[in-house]
Structure 1
Amino acid sequence: MDIELIEIRDFLKQHHPFDLLPDEALEGLPKSIEVRYARRGTVLFEPGEENKFLWVVRTGAIETRDPENNLLARLSEGECFGVRAIMRGVAVNRCEAIEDSLLYLLPVDDFNRLRDNFQQFAFFFAPLGGERLRSARALDKSGSADDLGLITTKVRDLLRRQGPVVCKPTVSIQEAATVMSNEKVSCILVTEDDKIVGIATDKDLRNRVVAKGYDISRPLFEIMTKDPVCIDAESYLFDAMLLMSQKNIRHLPVLDGGQAAGVITNTNIVQKQSTSMVFLVGDVYKRQSIEGLKEVVKQVPNMVMNLVSGGATAHNVGHVVSTVTDAIARRLLQMAEEKLGAPPVPYAWIVVGSEARHEQTALSDQDNGIILDDSYDEAKHGDYFKELAKFVCDGLNECGYIYCPGDVMATNDKWRQPLSQWKKYFSKWIDTPEPEALMLSSVFFDMRALHGDESLYENLRKYVVEKSSGNRIFLSFMAGNALTHQPPLGFFKNFVLIRGGDHNHTFDLKHTGVVPIIDLARTYSLDAGLFEINTQDRLKAAVEKKVISQAGANDLLDALEFISITRLRHQARQIRRREKVDNFMPPDDMSHFERNHLKDAFNVVKTMQAALASAYT
Structure 2
Amino acid sequence: MAAVTNATPLISLDAVVIDTETTSLEPRKARILEVAAVRIESGRIEGSNRFDRLINPGEPISAFSTAIHGIDNQKVADAPDFAAVWPKLQAFIGDAIVIGHTLGFDLAVLQQECKRAGLPWRMPRTLDTQHLVQLVDPRLRRYSLEDLAELFDIEITDRHSALGDAFITARLFQALVPKLRESSIRTFAEASQACRGLAKSLDRQHRAGWVTPDVAGDRAATERMLSRVDSYPYRHRVRDVMSSPPKIIAADRSLGDALGQLIGGRISSLFVAPAGTAQEKLPSFAAGIITERDILRAMAIDGEGALKLGVEQFMSRPLATIPTEAFVYRAIGRMSRLKIRHLGVIDEAGCLVGALSARDLLRLRAGEAVSLGDEIDEADDVHALGAAWAKLPHVCASLLAEGIAARDVAAIISRELGALTRQATVIAERRMVEAGEGEPPCPYAMTVLGSAGRGESLLAMDQDNALIFESGRPDGAEDKWFAMLGARVADILNEVGVSYCKGGVMASNADWRGSVATWQARVGEWIGRSRPQDLLAVDIFFDMRGVHGHLPLADSLWRYAYDAADGNVVFAKLLVEASGPVERGLNFFGGIRTDKGRIDLKHTGLFGIVAMARALAIRHHILERATPARLLGIQALGIGGDQDIEALIDAQATFQAFVLSQQLADINAGKPASNAVAVKRLTAQERQRLQTALQAVRHLDELTRDLLFRD
- Shorter-chain TM-score bucket reads 0.5 to 0.7
- 1:601: which partner in 2? 693
Contact 2:587 2:593 in 1 (8 A): yes
Distance 1:589 1:306, change over 3 A: same
Q: Structure 1 residues 234-243 or 203-212, which shifts more?
A: 203-212
- Choose which of 208, 220, 227 in structure 1 pairs with 2:311: 220
Distance 1:246 1:367, change over 3 A: farther
| Counterpart-to-counterpart distance in 2, 1:163 and 1:385 | 38
- Cα shift at 1:186: 4.5
- 1:364: which partner in 2? 461
1:199 aligns with 2:282: no
- 2:383: which partner in 1? 291
**What does 1:39-118 align with in structure 2 at a 5 Å threshold?**
none
| Counterpart-to-counterpart distance in 1, 2:333 and 2:517 | 33
Q: Structure 1 residues 231-240 or 389-398, which shifts more?
A: 231-240
Amino acid at match of 1:237: V
- Cα shift at 1:268: 4.2
Residues 68-115 of structure 1 deviation map (CA, whole Å, 9 limit, x = unaligned): xxxxxxxxxxxxxxxxxxxxxxxxxxxxxxxxxxxxxxxxxxxxxxxx
**What does 1:262-281 align with in structure 2 at a 5 Å threshold?**
263-266=355-358, 268-269=360-361, 271-281=363-373
- 1:554: which partner in 2? 646
Q: Structure 1 residues 229-238 or 482-491, which shifts more?
A: 229-238
1:252 aligns with 2:343: yes
Amino acid at match of 2:385: L
| Counterpart-to-counterpart distance in 2, 1:409 and 1:211 | 56
Contact 2:566 2:621 in 1 (8 A): yes
Amino acid at match of 2:386: K
**What does 1:316-331 align with in structure 2 at a 5 Å threshold?**
316-331=408-423
Contact 1:506 1:584 in 2 (8 A): yes
Residues 523-560 of structure 1 deviation map (CA, whole Å, 9 limit, x = unaligned): 11111112211112211222223343333221111111
1:566 aligns with 2:658: yes
- 1:419: which partner in 2? 516
Distance 1:516 1:487, change over 3 A: farther
Q: Structure 1 residues 439-448 or 148-157, which shifts more?
A: 148-157
Residues 240-263 of structure 1 deviation map (CA, whole Å, 9 limit, x = unaligned): 45776899864124589x999863
| Counterpart-to-counterpart distance in 1, 2:635 and 2:620 | 10
Secondary structure of the residue aligned to 1:389 is helix
- 2:258: which partner in 1? 176
Contact 2:598 2:677 in 1 (8 A): yes
- Choose which of 481, 489, 492 in structure 2 pairs with 1:384: 481
Distance 1:159 1:451, change over 3 A: closer
Distance 1:415 1:182, change over 3 A: closer
Amino acid at match of 1:343: P
- Choose which of 187, 190, 209 in structure 1 pairs with 2:269: 187
Contact 1:552 1:608 in 2 (8 A): no
Contact 2:445 2:551 in 1 (8 A): yes
- 2:74: which partner in 1? none
Residues 538-589 of structure 1 deviation map (CA, whole Å, 9 limit, x = unaligned): 1122222334333322111111101110111112222343433222122212
Distance 1:459 1:185, change over 3 A: closer
- 1:237: which partner in 2? 328
| Counterpart-to-counterpart distance in 2, 1:262 and 1:323 | 21
Contact 2:573 2:615 in 1 (8 A): no
Contact 2:330 2:374 in 1 (8 A): no
1:307 aligns with 2:399: yes
| Counterpart-to-counterpart distance in 2, 1:302 and 1:444 | 30
**What does 1:2-17 align with in structure 2 at a 5 Å threshold?**
none
Distance 1:615 1:538, change over 3 A: closer
Secondary structure of the residue aligned to 1:263 is strand
Secondary structure of the residue aligned to 1:440 is coil
- Structure 2, unmatched stretches of 5+, are 1-226
Residues 199-240 of structure 1 deviation map (CA, whole Å, 9 limit, x = unaligned): 213565589998999965322134435795666878752464
Q: Structure 1 residues 324-333 or 336-345, which shifts more?
A: 336-345
- 2:15: which partner in 1? none
Secondary structure of the residue aligned to 1:272 is coil
**What does 1:539-550 align with in structure 2 at a 5 Å threshold?**
539-550=631-642
- Choose which of 440, 444, 454 in structure 1 pairs with 2:537: 440
- Choose which of 681, 686, 691 in structure 2 pairs with 1:589: 681
Q: Structure 1 residues 418-427 or 391-400, which shifts more?
A: 418-427
Distance 1:362 1:440, change over 3 A: closer
Distance 1:377 1:576, change over 3 A: closer
- 2:628: which partner in 1? 536
Secondary structure of the residue aligned to 2:539 is helix
Amino acid at match of 1:521: A
Distance 1:351 1:234, change over 3 A: closer
| Counterpart-to-counterpart distance in 1, 2:532 and 2:511 | 18
Normalising by the residue count of structure 1, what TM-score does the alignment of the two structures yield? 0.67
Distance 1:394 1:484, change over 3 A: same
- 1:50: which partner in 2? none
Normalising by the residue count of structure 2, what TM-score does the alignment of the two structures yield? 0.59
Contact 1:480 1:613 in 2 (8 A): no
- Cα shift at 1:490: 1.9
| Counterpart-to-counterpart distance in 2, 1:435 and 1:238 | 42
| Counterpart-to-counterpart distance in 2, 1:351 and 1:373 | 18
Contact 1:470 1:528 in 2 (8 A): yes
- Cα shift at 1:270: 6.5
- Choose which of 467, 471, 484 in structure 2 pairs with 1:374: 471
**Pairs aligned (count):** 467
- Choose which of 397, 400, 403 in structure 1 pairs with 2:497: 400
Secondary structure of the residue aligned to 2:461 is coil
Contact 2:428 2:488 in 1 (8 A): yes
Secondary structure of the residue aligned to 2:523 is helix
| Counterpart-to-counterpart distance in 2, 1:369 and 1:598 | 35
User: Pairwise CA RMSD of aligned residues?
Assistant: 3.7
- 1:149: which partner in 2? 232
- 2:561: which partner in 1? 464
Secondary structure of the residue aligned to 2:308 is coil
- 1:344: which partner in 2? 441
- Choose which of 486, 489, 510 in structure 1 pairs with 2:586: 489
| Counterpart-to-counterpart distance in 2, 1:415 and 1:209 | 56
Amino acid at match of 2:389: V
Contact 1:302 1:575 in 2 (8 A): no
| Counterpart-to-counterpart distance in 2, 1:512 and 1:537 | 21
